[in-house]
Amino acid sequence: MKLYSTKNEDFIVDLEEAVMNSLAPEGGLYMPSKLTPLPESFWANFYKRSFQENSYLVCSHLFDGYIPEDILKDIVYEAINFPAPLVQMSDSDIYSLELWHGPSLAFKDFGARFMSRLMSYFNRNNDNDLTILVATSGDTGGAVATGFYNTPGIEVIILYPSGKVSHLQEKQLTTLGKNITALEIDGTFDDCQALVKQAFLDEHLREKYRLSSANSINIARLIPQSFYYFEAIKQLGPIDKPITMSIPSGNFGNLTAGLIAKRLGLKIDQFIAATNINNIVPKYLETGVYEPKPSIATISNAMDVGRPSNFDRMMALYSSTWNDVKKDISGAFYTDEKNKEILKDIKTQHGYVADPHGALGYQSLVENKTDTVKIYFETAHPAKFINVMDETIGVGMTPVPERLAKLRHEEKTSIELGKEYTSFKKYLLER
Ligand SMILES: *Cc1c(COP(=O)(O)O)cnc(C)c1O
């Protein structure tokens, strides 16, 4: 499998380099060079196969013999070991794809579990530890922490914005210990992301560390996220109508994975990029002007991103032609106030407890009047945002899964740092 850099199409690497280095020179992102439609044989038994089987076949098509098939099959089967149920909202034409059935209760478990196993395979003959740096706006940290916990030869350092992730999200990344370290940064998610990006470009640090990243900029996170698009369409069964999918978005990894699935031949007719008031991409889709901004805190905090890191990948798929992008993707964005109304509506109309991220996807489908079957992503379990949920739909109305409830009593361990690069670097050098 070959990949190119979004900053230079002639810069080509193989999969191992793309996964282990994460970023290409000058901040380029890796994209698969070849996205050809899956063969007829894949579709012949598509509806009969398990989630794992279809995922393995999609992955094998992409990897194109790059790693031995039996090993690849193990990696996929271990990573994709929980379901992604498609739930119809009453008898409407709207479905929720629940992506929160994994260990950290967010879709990011798919990417983190797949990446940890793939990296572990690539690292198998190395004596030096690999250090993974990852910035989180909330959910990445928990998924990466559980996904990499106890992985031999891999250290994980998670940066999160102090006071800007929910209490339970914080517990998910600060209570494991062992090879997982949490840095509590006095700044925003964008500050955390900037620190990670700068560290990668720092030759001085790279003398001491073999660094890699687990953010959605890593192609190993993105690839498995395309698998559940196939799973959604499979569960729907053969239908004649076109399909619209709405993706609650922040860094746009999920949506980009959907665009990749479409290139592989999956029939998705329209995408909706649903955001909170960090509406950089919906604005771009509307006006053709891309204008990153500092992020603004909202109740859908995992989408508080002012400079979406996968934007360049989306552009690469459309050769940066706004008119082409617009044909496949439209945008929608909502305020917190509206979000709370939506959460209540979903509960009243469907008896369903959505989360503050998924709710925005749902609403964009309600407002979409096309004659299509509509699917939105429930990107995390609502109990991860229990304060917002209690305040909005009422205390005790949101079921709290056992694995989340028990975190309340566990003790947080974090290292507090300022947002200046110098203090982060000093910490890393003295570690
Ligand atoms: C990460 C996350 C998102 C945003 O996903 P992107 O792939 O970064 O666009 C949305 N919702 C939840 C709950 C998340 O954790």
- CA–centroid distance, residue 248 to ligand 1 (Å): 7
With respect to CATH, is domain 71-103+221-399 assigned 3.40.50.1100?
yes
User: Hey, whose CA ends up nearest to atom 15 of ligand 1?
Assistant: 139
Residue 127 has pLDDT above 90, yes or no: no
- CA–centroid distance, residue 139 to ligand 1 (Å): 7
Structure-block tokens of residue 161: 């914005």
Determine the average pLDDT of the residues in 421-431. 95
How confident is residue 88, by pLDDT bands cut at 50, 70 and 90? very high
Structure-block tokens of residue 248: 């609650």
Pocket test for ligand 1, best of 190, 254, 275 (most atoms within 8 A of CB): 254
Say which residues have a Cβ less than 8 Å from residue 53's Cβ, sequence separation at least 6.
none
Q: Does the CB atom of residue 361 touch ligand 1 within 6 A?
A: no
pLDDT confidence of residue 243: 98
Residue-wise pLDDT for 142-162, tens only, equals 999 999 998 888 999 999 999
What is the percent of the chain where pLDDT is above 70?
100
pLDDT confidence of residue 40: 97
pLDDT confidence of residue 191: 95
pLDDT confidence of residue 419: 97
Determine the average pLDDT of the residues in 394-398. 97
Q: Does the CB atom of residue 227 touch ligand 1 within 6 A?
A: no
The Cα 67–Cα 121 span in angstroms is 10
Pocket test for ligand 1, best of 213, 249, 311, 377 (most atoms within 8 A of CB): 249
Q: Does the CB atom of residue 251 touch ligand 1 within 6 A?
A: yes
Q: Does the CB atom of residue 248 touch ligand 1 within 6 A?
A: yes
Provide the whole-model pTM: 0.92
Range with the poorest average pLDDT among 39-43, 163-167, 308-312: 163-167
pLDDT confidence of residue 257: 97
- CA–centroid distance, residue 343 to ligand 1 (Å): 17
Structure-block tokens of residue 126: 């190395």
Domain edges within the chain: 71-103+221-399
Q: Does the CB atom of residue 106 touch ligand 1 within 6 A?
A: yes
How confident is residue 189, by pLDDT bands cut at 50, 70 and 90? confident
Determine the average pLDDT of the residues in 192-214. 90
Residue 260 has pLDDT above 90, yes or no: yes
Determine the average pLDDT of the residues in 367-383. 97
Determine the average pLDDT of the residues in 165-172. 88
Pocket test for ligand 1, best of 98, 109, 139, 300 (most atoms within 8 A of CB): 139
pLDDT confidence of residue 380: 95
